[in-house]
Structures are given as C-alpha cells and as structure tokens.
Amino acid sequence: MASQHTILLVGESNVGKTHYGAQLLKRLMVKACALKMSGAPTNLEAFTAALSCLTEGKSTDHTPANTYVESVWPISDDAGRHAELVWPDYGGEQIRNLVMQRRIPSAWRDRVLDATDWVMLIRLHSLRSEDDLFSRPLQSFAATELHGGTAEYEPSDQARTVELLQMLLYLAQCHLDRPLRKPRLTILLSCWDELETTELPVDLLASRLPMLWSFVHSNWTSPKVIGLSALERALSKTDADREYAIRGPEEFGYVVLPNGEKNTDITLPIQRVMANGV
Ligand SMILES: Nc1nc2c(ncn2[C@@H]2O[C@H](COP(=O)(O)OP(=O)(O)OP(=O)(O)O)[C@@H](O)[C@H]2O)c(=O)[nH]1
Ligand SMILES: [Mg+2]
C-alpha cells in the first residue's frame, strides 16, 4: 500500500507557497524529475490559475486570506516507492494569525496532528533584520524608553518564527527531552535567486537568523536547510516573460542542496523527505 505523506507546509504570506506548489505540480506532470505523478491528481483548482499564468510567463496573485485547499497527488520515486502527497495552498495570513492571536483554529490543530513532515518556507530577502544589542548601542534603546517608551511590543520576524515552531511542537505533542526525528523538518529558503549568494543554505540561515537556527538544530536530529528558487527569476503579473512562455515554466527553477549543489530538480526536497520516511 502506498504510504501517505501529508506535508505541513508552513509559510507566511508572500513567501512563495503558491508558485512552488504550481511549479512542483508541473514538474511531477512532465515526469522528468526524481518524483513523478503516477496517477490522477485531485483538487488542482488552487494551482490551475498559477499554472496558466506561469505558462504565459507571468506571476500569479496572492491567495485570499481565508482560502485553504488541499490537493492530493499520487507520486512515485525512482526506487518505485509510491506515496500520496497531500499538498496544501492557503493565504499566508493564517500562519501569522496563529502566532499573533495565540489561538489555534481546530482545523489547524488537525493539520498539525495529521502531518508526517513539516516543510517551512522562509524568504530571507523580505524578513526585517531587527535591531538588537549587536547592531545598535544600548543607549539607543534607553533613549526610546525615555521618550514615552515603546508603545507596543512586537516580536521580531525571527522571534515570531521561533514562536510559531514552539506552538506547532506543542500542538503536535512533541516531547523535547531529546532531539526530534519526527516530524522531520525541512526549511526551504525561498526565492533564493534574490539573495545573490554563494553561501551554503545552512550557513546563510545560521548567520541571518541565528536564534532560529539554534532553536531548530537543538530540537531536531537532522533538520534540512535547502535553497529554493521555484521561479529562478522575478516575474511580473502584467508583462509576460517571453523566454518563460517559449521554453515553458518547467525549464525554470532550481534548488540548492545542503552540500551547495545546484540542481534543477525542484522535487528533490520532497523526494528526500519521502526516502527517509516510513
Ligand atoms: N524572484 C523570485 N520570486 C518568486 C519566486 N517564487 C515566488 N516569487 C514571487 O514571490 C511572490 C509571492 O509568491 P506566492 O507564491 O504568491 O506567495 P504565497 O506564499 O503563496 O503568498 P500568499 O498567497 O499571500 O500566502 C510573487 O510575486 C512571486 O512572483 C522565486 O523563486 N523567485
Ligand atoms: Mg499563495
């Protein structure tokens, strides 16, 4: 019997969930990658608009905040392993709300409990690098307090991400007395092309978000950090990219594997999750 891999895809708004979903689906369908579609996928509506935009060389819209849909993709890998991949798409505001409102809708609780693997998308380019003791002298913080104090406390982007993981771990009833094997965690540094770097993904994460990385690697036995450029370049919503339209969206996009190897097979992060599974 085919195993089932339900991915808990975690990412705030604008990190690239929909475009990765659409590009992944396209790759599975053209069957030239490590993972291939081996049956009829269902519930593709979430990705059909994105797919048709990409075929014209355009980018697609933001997903409405309240949308949540799951698509089911029967897939197989080169070793003949079959699995059902349950891939969601949703408005990223839902993720931010989990943390900001500190309330978990029951639907999200079930998703966390059902998931076999966690894949977190982080777009480093759009995260604010916050001021702290290392980037500003202590007096500057004292000064803000003198002038009426900081009216509202808002956690930094990094702190919010750690908090989110803590909430998910709590919901999943994970015991942190020893490093976790399951659920496996993969962090995808999305829109990698924007970063214009030659660093290893894990080194970049550790230097840009040290607190998050420290939290992750002290709680998981083997977290994976992979660079992902689902599109390979920025696309516009209005002006079509001619090369995209001519060659097809499946000719674009790549991943940067943990060892730094660049590979055009964007199914690899998921193939690795499946291969280590069972
Ligand atoms: N340069 C570059 N831009 C990308 C890439 N992937 C996505 N984008 C752009 O990033 C923006 C956000 O991508 P989406 O896939 O819509 O993000 P999302 O996570 O689905 O966002 P919500 O639907 O709001 O939750 C879009 O403008 C995309 O064109 C990439 O690999 N490289
Ligand atoms: Mg979206």
Domains of the chain by residue range? 3-275
Strands of the 262-263 sheet, one edge to the other: 35-37, 68-77, 82-90, 3-10, 117-122, 184-189, 224-229, 254-256, 262-263
Atom of ligand 1 nearest to the CA of 190: 31
Closest C-alpha to ligand 1, atom 15: 16
Atom of ligand 1 nearest to the CA of 235: 29
Closest C-alpha to ligand 1, atom 22: 13
Residue 57 is encoded by which pair of tokens?
């060389």
Higher-confidence residue of 143 and 159: namely: 159
Contact 120, 188 (CB under 8 A): yes
Contact 114, 92 (CB under 8 A): no
In CATH terms, the superfamily for domain 3-275 is P-loop containing nucleotide triphosphate hydrolases (3.40.50.300)
Q: How far is CA 163 from CA 75, 157, 158, in A?
A: 33, 10, 9
Residue 9 is encoded by which pair of tokens?
């895809």
d(CA 108, CA 96): 13
Q: Minimal CA–CA distance to 224: which of 107, 119, 77, 85?
A: 119
Contact 98, 167 (CB under 8 A): yes
d(CA 273, CA 77): 11
Q: Dump pLDDT digits (tens) for 49-100.
A: 999 999 999 999 999 999 999 999 999 999 888 899 999 999 999 999 999 9
Find how far residue 95's CA is from the centre of its chain: 12
278 pLDDT higher than 50:
no
Residue 240 is encoded by which pair of tokens?
């079509």
Average the pLDDT over 226-236 and give the result: 98
Beta strands in the chain (DSSP E): 3-10, 35-37, 68-77, 82-90, 117-122, 184-189, 224-229, 254-256, 262-263
Question: Whole-model pTM?
Answer: 0.93
Instruction: Name every protein residue with a CB atom under 6 angstroms from any ligand 1 atom.
Output: 11, 13-19, 59, 62-63, 91-92, 191, 193-194, 229-231, 233-235
162 pLDDT higher than 60:
yes
d(CA 197, CA 155): 27
Q: Dump pLDDT digits (tens) for 101-136.
A: 988 999 999 999 999 899 999 999 999 876 665 566
